[in-house]
Amino acid sequence: MATQHSRSAARIMMAPAVVLLLGWMLVPLTMTLYFSFKKYLPLRGGDLGWVGFDNYVRFVSSSAFWPSVQTTLVIVGGVLLITIILGVLLSILLDQPMWGQGIVRILVIAPFFVMPTVSALVWKNMFMDPVNGLFAHLWEAFGAQPVEWLSDASLLSIIIIVSWQWLPFATLILLTAIQSLDSEQLEAAEMDGAPPLARFGFIILPHLSRAITIVILIQTIFLLAIFAEIFVTTGGAFGTRTLTYLIFQRVLESQNVGLGSAGGVYAIILANIVAIFLMRIVGKNLDA
């Protein structure tokens, strides 16, 4: 009896949160679905009625669609690759006893607290500006022609900026994972004749696999939606138009809410495909 009581009490207590969360998710989702089947042009006549799958067909058949999917995947993949490789190296470095460890750790985490818009602007104006940027000065110091980062290497620039923001997150998670490694395992491996590189490959990396999985999953979810970094740097030009950005342009620049909503539904599908794909590959690591 007691358990039944407490169970229904628990349901009542949880209800507000569940309702709020459901509303939070369901309302926008339903509205997106609703508009995606309409021709809705706010400045050019408003609601022009149902059009079935017209918007879906038009969104995919637009010449900008596939390149935007590709751009999205390249950015996500590039950032994941950079943050995980550098994150593993940095976390190993930070795990070594060294002078000023506390300060260094705080400094490493700092970029995570900078707003995406701000950090993108700082990178754009202070580092990547072809005239006044630090990189330009550096290139000139070596007598080279400064690179026009945001137009000539636009995708790479965005990947660098976003990686800089997400590296602290990866490092932090990987560092805590490394700290939980039993030092006797490393000592045992050392006695078993494993040189440092083998110890890294056979002991440290497998130990980190779970943490790496988590970093990949969480980052992917957030990286699929990056927007501010593109908005303030290239504005979607020079091949940096991601799916998110394309939707933004459809809705706000061309004022076509229906078409944008159809794009939103595609984005949801893409995110789910990626998520299922990732879960399949890395999910094994989680239950080991």
Query: By the criterion CB under 8 A, which residues form the site for another protein?
Result: 182, 184-185, 187-194, 198, 202-203, 206-207, 209, 288
Q: Which residue, 62 or 185, has its beta carbon nearer to another protein?
A: 185
Smallest distance from another protein to CB 245, Å? 41
Element (H, E) at 40: strand 38-41
Smallest distance from another protein to CB 282, Å? 14
Q: Which residue, 42 or 195, has its beta carbon nearer to another protein?
A: 195
Q: Which residue, 45 or 193, has its beta carbon nearer to another protein?
A: 193
Smallest distance from another protein to CB 99, Å? 16
Give yes or no for a contact between 274 and 220, defined as CB atoms under 8 angstroms apart: yes
267, two tokens = 């984005």
Smallest distance from another protein to CB 176, Å? 17
220, two tokens = 């992917």
Please name the residue that has the structure tokens 């990178």: 123
Strand partners, 46: 41
Q: Which residue, 38 or 199, has its beta carbon nearer to another protein?
A: 199
Q: Which residue, 12 or 197, has its beta carbon nearer to another protein?
A: 197
Smallest distance from another protein to CB 101, Å? 17
Distance CA 76, CA 57 (A): 26
Distance, C-alpha 178 to centroid of its chain: 23
Q: Which residue, 189 or 265, has its beta carbon nearer to another protein?
A: 189
- Closest of 164, 159, 150 to residue 76, by C-alpha: 159
287 SS3 class: helix
- Angstrom distances, CA of residue 263 to CA of 33, 76, 240: 10, 18, 17
Distance CA 30, CA 36 (A): 10
Distance CA 128, CA 147 (A): 8
Q: Which residue, 58 or 207, has its beta carbon nearer to another protein?
A: 207
Q: What is the CA radius of gyration of the chain?
A: 24
Smallest distance from another protein to CB 88, Å? 16
Distance CA 162, CA 156 (A): 10
Q: What is the DSSP letter of 239?
A: T
Phi, psi angles (nearest 5°) of residue 89: -65, -45
Smallest distance from another protein to CB 220, Å? 24
Q: Which residue, 194 or 282, has its beta carbon nearer to another protein?
A: 194
Smallest distance from another protein to CB 179, Å? 16
